[in-house]
Amino acid sequence: MHPQRVVITGVGLTCPLGNDLPTFRNALLAGKSGVVKFPVRNMGEQAAGVSEFEKTKYQNRKEIRVGTRAGGIGIFCAHEALENAGLDLKDIDPSRIGVYLGITEHGNVETETEVCQLVDHYDEDVKYWTHHHNPRTVANNPAGEITVNLGLTGPHYTIGAACAAGNAGIIQGVQMLRLGECDQALAGGVSESIRAFGIFAGFKSQGALAAHDDPTQASRPFDTDRNGIVVSEGGCIYVLERLEDALLRNATIIAEILGYRINSDGTDYVLPNPERQEECIRQALTNAELDPSEVDLVSTHATSTPQGDEQECKAVRNVFGEDSSTLINNTKSFIGHSMGAAGAIELAGNLPSFEDGVAHATINLDNLDPNCHLPGLVINQPQEKKGGVNVILNNSFGMLGINSVLLLKKFKG
């Protein structure tokens, strides 16, 4: 028996290239980088992706003060997604909306800030430690803040899945809709990681933090001069619905989720495993009942690290071979690595290709690393896909060896 069909009916996002999908898409097609220099505690200016959205659009100033940046990002994206889906909360049962957000980590920003204040100003006396610490740092915080802000009473939680979390949030939403746990899923991912120096310092100690005089060129997947990750913030939340429900209310259907897979390397804390990545891609294709030749566009995870990019390319090459008809791109080259939001944001940037048949490029690719050779790689300039784009495969991988693959199809009824 085939599972119930699930579709995307709304998108809300904030990322370093804009706060709505058309703006983001236009910047991607224009080849514009969103990476800037950003002050990081203890580390000076670093290349980073910053999301500049109107914070008071959906929150009052007290909510912003009490809550977290990740929560604020989530609230902005959730409102935008519902509006984009044409859903008015007055007309729907708030107990039937589920919120499922992927996060790479949560609580680092708030904990660092509090520890630094305690050390710098209060002689480490814990009576100055804020009572807001626990509600700000509980792992469900970003999803929970959305429910508080919108008055939603259905299930909510976050899914910790390192940098595979954006896809994982969407997958969770699909599963909960199929189980009947909710009628609308607000699903995706968020990240506030640029506001924690520990994230940058950790990557630097690992030899995986990007460094470049020009921040717009710091994120350069597949290039011989790539030297690490550009950390970014942002969020992307989708409204997911069962197809029958979406049709019943005459919703605009943006895409259908065809299949997915999450698996584990089972090998290392940090190093990726191309065999398991390949296996994850193949299993997602099997789940979606697709042959690799039916995939028109692959959105790669590549983070601009020397080893990670090479490993993913190996996995993608093994699946898609020398067939250049499957186009391959990378969105981190434009906005850096938005961590728990990455999979969801990168997917969003590619969704308009269902309409215009164009794949945006991977930019900053001046000298292709031969080990990253991919026949269909879209280099520096957007490329039109012959026959249009009907199927997108979205890779998103993370530490501790978590791999996720999502397959989407242009909706044709």
Partner 1 sequence: MTKEKIKQIVLDIIAEIAPDEELTDVKPEVRLRDQLDLDSMDFLDIVMELRKQHGIDVPEAEYRELESLDSCANYLLPKFEAAAAA
Q: Does 132 bind partner 1 (CB under 8 A)?
A: yes
In eight-state DSSP terms, residue 56 is: G
Stretch of residues binding partner 1 (CB under 8 A), selected from 35-43, 61-69, 293-301, 342-350: 61-69
Alpha-carbon dihedral sign for residues 251, 253, 256, 257: negative
Instruction: Give the three-class secondary structure for 49.
Output: strand
CA distance 6 to 251: 13
Give me the least distance between CB of 13 and partner 1, in Å please: 26
Task: Please pick, from the candidates 52, 128, 138, 225, the single residue that binds partner 1 as defined by CB under 8 A.
Answer: 128
Cα-Cα-Cα-Cα dihedral of 266, 168, 352, 180, to 10°?
Answer: 140
- 257 closest CA partner among 360, 354, 191: 354
CB burial string 386-408: b at 16+ within 10 A, e below: eeebbbbbbbbbbbebbbbbbbb
Give me the least distance between CB of 63 and partner 1, in Å please: 9
Nearer residue to partner 1 within complex by CB, 88 or 125: 125
2 given a catalytic annotation = no
Give me the least distance between CB of 39 and partner 1, in Å please: 23
Cα angle value 376/276/210 (rounded, 5°): 65
301 given a catalytic annotation = yes
Over the window 174 to 213, marking each residue x when it contacts partner 1 by CB under 8 A and - when it does not, the resulting string is ----------------------------------------
Question: 163, 182, 236, 280: which one is catalytic?
Answer: 163
Nearer residue to partner 1 within complex by CB, 61 or 386: 61
| Count, residues near partner 1 per rule CB under 8 A | 12
Q: Does 126 bind partner 1 (CB under 8 A)?
A: no
Q: Does 151 bind partner 1 (CB under 8 A)?
A: no
Residue 149 to residues 25, 90, 132, 145, 153, Cα–Cα distance (Å):
28, 14, 17, 6, 11
Q: Does 127 bind partner 1 (CB under 8 A)?
A: yes
164, 403 contact by CB (below 8 A): yes
Task: Please pick, from the candidates 2, 131, 386, 412, the single residue that binds partner 1 as defined by CB under 8 A.
Answer: 131
Stretch of residues binding partner 1 (CB under 8 A), selected from 33-41, 129-137, 225-233, 332-340: 129-137
Give me the least distance between CB of 119 and partner 1, in Å please: 14
* Binding positions for partner 1, 96-125, rule CB under 8 A: 121-122
Structure tokens at 71: 């929560």
- 238 closest CA partner among 345, 333, 340: 345
Task: Please pick, from the candidates 26, 95, 130, 380, the single residue that binds partner 1 as defined by CB under 8 A.
Answer: 130
Stretch of residues binding partner 1 (CB under 8 A), selected from 35-43, 130-138, 212-220, 383-391: 130-138
Say how many CA atoms lie within 13 Å of 384 toward its Cβ: 3
Q: Does 61 bind partner 1 (CB under 8 A)?
A: yes
Question: 156, 212, 301, 360: which one is catalytic?
Answer: 301
Strands (E), 57-128: 97-103
86, 254 contact by CB (below 8 A): no
- Residues near partner 1 (CB under 8 A): 60-62, 65-66, 121-122, 127-128, 130-132
Question: Which residues are known to be catalytic?
Answer: 163, 301, 337
